Every structure is written in structure tokens, then in C-alpha cells.
A = this chain, B = another copy of it.
């Protein structure tokens, strides 16, 4: 299991937009050149980012892309979810197996009130919990926070001289 290359590209494209604060938007040509990826492919990714309201796009001469909201409001989680989708990492496929009944329904007599705990699967609970941990961390880190840290590092480098 790995994150797709598209996620890689999307993150870097957004970082590029983030540190390029200009009057006019950044064209796909400049972006693809900077990242070293074809225009065709990158434009697909940018299009997805636009559909999800991460960036704005303006066609025509001097057109291109710009962040749709401040970089500190674009979290890593936002980006990952646009590209990788929002399904959860672990989705059980055999919920009709014998195993399942043992774990979830516990072999006891079925009663009506059971319905509200039907979804309480112990395996999924662990896997979902783990995913939530990752999500929380990604939610706390934004495009801006990476930019800030880059600046901080640069200053630190300068002081050493």
C-alpha cells in the first residue's frame, strides 16, 4: 500500500502556488516544468483540486491556477483525500462469513435492539482508530506550515554564517 504519485504531485504543486504569491496565476507550463511532470497529467490533478475547491483556475491568456483559500487553511489531509478518495483504508469484505458472526454477533440470541450495535466491529474499530490517528496529524499540518518551516530553516542557515 502506497500513496499514489498524484498525491506527490498535488502536494508539490500546491507548495509551488503557496510560495509564488503574485498578481497573476501560475500556468500549467510553469508548474509542470517545476515539478518535472507532463502538462497533460498534471492538469488532470489540478482539475481535481479545483473541483474540490482547493485551487481556483482561470483559463485564457495569462491564466493558470491560484490557491482558492489561504495556505494555512489547506491541510495535508485535504489534499490526500481529494486525490486518494475518502473511502476508509480498511473495508471489510466478508461480513457474511462465519468469522463475522463469532466476533460481532457473539453467538448469543439475537434480539431486536441489536441493530444499533450492528456496526460495532472490533477489527474495524482498531483499523479505523489507527487511520484517525494519521488523519489527525495530517489535519494539523498545512501547506503554510511547511512553507513556514522552510523559511525558518533558511534563516537558521543564514545565522550560521
Stoichiometry, copies per complex: 2
Checking B1, B19, B87, B127 against A76 with a beta-carbon cut-off of 8 angstroms, the contacting residue is B127
Q: Which residues of B contact A138 (CB under 8 A)?
A: 126, 130
* A106 sits at the interface (CB 8 A): yes
* A45 sits at the interface (CB 8 A): no
The secondary-structure label for the interface of chain A is helix
Instruction: Give Cα A4 to B2, complex, Å.
Output: 11
Q: Which residues of B contact A89 (CB under 8 A)?
A: 1-3
Complex contact A35–B99 (CB within 8 A):
yes
Closest 3 CB pairs of A and B: A134-B134, A36-B97, A130-B137
Could you list some 14 contacts between A and B, CB below 8 A?
A1-B4, A2-B90, A8-B92, A11-B123, A33-B98, A35-B94, A35-B99, A36-B94, A36-B97, A103-B146, A126-B145, A131-B134, A133-B136, A134-B134
A residues sitting closer than 8 Å to B (CB atoms) are 1-5, 7-8, 11-12, 15-16, 19, 33-37, 76, 84-85, 87, 89-94, 96-99, 102-103, 106, 108, 122-123, 126-127, 129-131, 133-134, 136-138, 141, 145-146, 149-150, 153-154, 157-158
